[in-house]
Amino acid sequence: MNEIINAIPEYVITLVVSTAIVYAFKYLESLIHAKTLHAKTAQSKELWSFIEQVADTAVNSLVSKNLTGDAKFAQATTIVQEVLAKRGFTNVDVKSIESAVQAAYEKSDLTGNNTSDPVKVAIRTAPNRANDLTKEDD
């Protein structure tokens, strides 16, 4: 009987430690998952920023070329695809690249797109307004 009574604290300690280890692993699993999602989001944001920069450069480099608008669009899209492929980004959707090229065209001051269309004006000035808003919050 003394052996059983002496073994009870050992079993309780083993149970408590085992339970703590299980909960610690569950917590670490969720923490690692959250960190992974954050890293993927940050990586996607950086990739999209890079695509926008390349698209802006491609559109601005084709402004003075004597080509039709469709040909400039196709060439700018090809330029962006080639740059991304050289950098190892081969899993970018063509529609995303085309959207970035179109957005670059809409934002560019060099394309002669200075109409009074409020949508185009909003697209062109959106990044500047975002920077202004962050400055006001300081």
Alpha carbons 103 and 58: distance in angstroms, whole number: 12
Report the percent of the chain where pLDDT is more than 70: 79
Q: At CA 120, angle to CA 118 and CA 125, rounded to 5?
A: 95
Domain boundaries, the chain: 2-137
> How far are the Cα atoms of 38, 50, 93 from residue 97, in angstroms, in the given order?
23, 11, 7
Alpha carbons 135 and 130: distance in angstroms, whole number: 9
User: Is residue 83 a contact partner of residue 34, using CB atoms and an 8 Å limit?
Assistant: no
In this predicted structure, the answer to whether residue 44 has a pLDDT above a threshold of 80 is: yes
pLDDT in tens, 50-105: 999 999 999 888 888 888 878 888 899 999 999 999 988 888 888 988 989 988 88
Task: Enter the pTM of the model.
Answer: 0.59
Alpha carbons 124 and 115: distance in angstroms, whole number: 11
In this predicted structure, the answer to whether residue 116 has a pLDDT above a threshold of 50 is: yes
